[in-house]
Chains A and B, each alone.
Chain A
Amino acid sequence: MNSIDRIKSTVNFKASDRVPVIAQVFGHAAILADVALSDYVRNGELLALCQIKALEHYGYDTVFALMDVNVETEAVGSVLTYRTNNYPVVKSYALSRGTELDRLSVPDPYKAGRMPELLKAITILRSEIGDDVLVVGCVLGPMTLATQLLGIEKALYLAIDDPESFTRLLDFSEEVVIRFGKVQIEAGAHLPIVFDPSASPAVIPYQFFREFELSRLKNVFTSFRQAGAMANWLHIAGPTDSILGLYSKAGVDIANFDFCVDPLDAQRALPQTCLDGNIKPLSFVDAASEEIAAESSRLLNLFADRRGFILSSGCEIPPESKPENVAAMVSSVRHGR
Chain B
Amino acid sequence: MRELNIQPLLEALLDGDQTQAVAEARKLCGDGAGHEWIVTEGIEAVMTQLDAKCTVEQFNLLEIMLVGRAVMKVMKDLYPTDVSSPHTKGTIVIGVLEGDIHDLGKNILKMILTAKGYRVVDCGKDCPVKKLIDTAEQEAAMAIGVSGLITTVIPQVRQVKDILAKRRLGCIKVMAGGAALKQASVESLNVDFVAETAFDGVRYLDQITGGKK
Contacts and interface: CB of A to CB of B under 8 A. Distances in A.
- Whether chains A and B associate is yes
Interface of A: 83, 85-87, 89-90, 152-153, 156-157, 159-160, 201-205, 208, 237-239, 241-242, 259, 280-283, 285-286, 318-320
A229 B68 CA distance: 42
B99 interface: yes
The 7 closest A-B pairs by CB, nearest first: A282-B183, A318-B151, A89-B101, A203-B61, A204-B62, A205-B60, A156-B62
B165 interface: no
Contacts of A89: 101
B59 A202 contact: yes
Contact of A238 (B16, B69, B154, B179): B179
A259 B104 CA distance: 22
Nearest to A83: B99
B63 to A, nearest CB: 6
Contact of B99 (A86, A237, A318): A86
26 contacts: A86-B99, A86-B152, A89-B101, A90-B101, A152-B104, A153-B104, A156-B61, A157-B65, A157-B66, A157-B69, A202-B60, A202-B179, A204-B60, A205-B63, A239-B57, A281-B151, A281-B183, A283-B183, A285-B154, A286-B154, A286-B188, A318-B150, A318-B151, A318-B152, A320-B151, A320-B152
Contact of B152 (A157, A160, A319): A319
B167 to A, nearest CB: 27
B180 interface: yes
A289 to B, nearest CB: 17
Contacts of A282: 151, 180, 183-184
A239 B69 contact: no
B56 interface: yes
A208 B61 CA distance: 12
B107 interface: yes
A259 B152 contact: no
Interface string B69-112: 10000000000000000000000000000010100100100000
Nearest to B104: A152
Nearest to A151: B104
B200 to A, nearest CB: 14
Contacts of B99: 83, 86
Interface string B175-213: 000011001100010000000000000000000000000
Interface residues of B, number: 24
A208 B62 contact: yes
Given A259-B183, A280-B183, A153 B65 contact: yes
A293 to B, nearest CB: 19
B180 A203 contact: no
Nearest to A284: B151
A229 B56 CA distance: 36
Contacts of A281: 151, 183
Contact of A205 (B62, B104, B180): B62
Contacts of A156: 61-62, 65
Nearest to A200: B60
A267 to B, nearest CB: 18
Nearest to B107: A153
Interface in B112-160: 150-152, 154
Given A160-B16, A205-B60, A286 B184 contact: yes
A239 B66 CA distance: 20
Contacts of A202: 59-61, 179
B122 to A, nearest CB: 14
Contacts of B179: 202, 237-238
A280 B180 CA distance: 10
Nearest to B18: A161
A285 B183 CA distance: 11
Nearest to B101: A89
Given A152-B104, A285-B154, A203 B16 contact: no
Contacts of A159: 62
Given A83-B99, A157-B69, 5 more contacts: A90-B101, A153-B65, A202-B60, A204-B60, A237-B179
Contacts of B151: 281-282, 285, 318, 320
Nearest to A152: B104
Contacts of B107: 153
Contact of B60 (A87, A203, A318): A203
A291 B149 CA distance: 24
Given A156-B62, A282-B180, A282-B183, A239 B56 contact: yes
Contacts of B184: 282, 286
Contacts of A203: 60-62
A152 B108 CA distance: 12
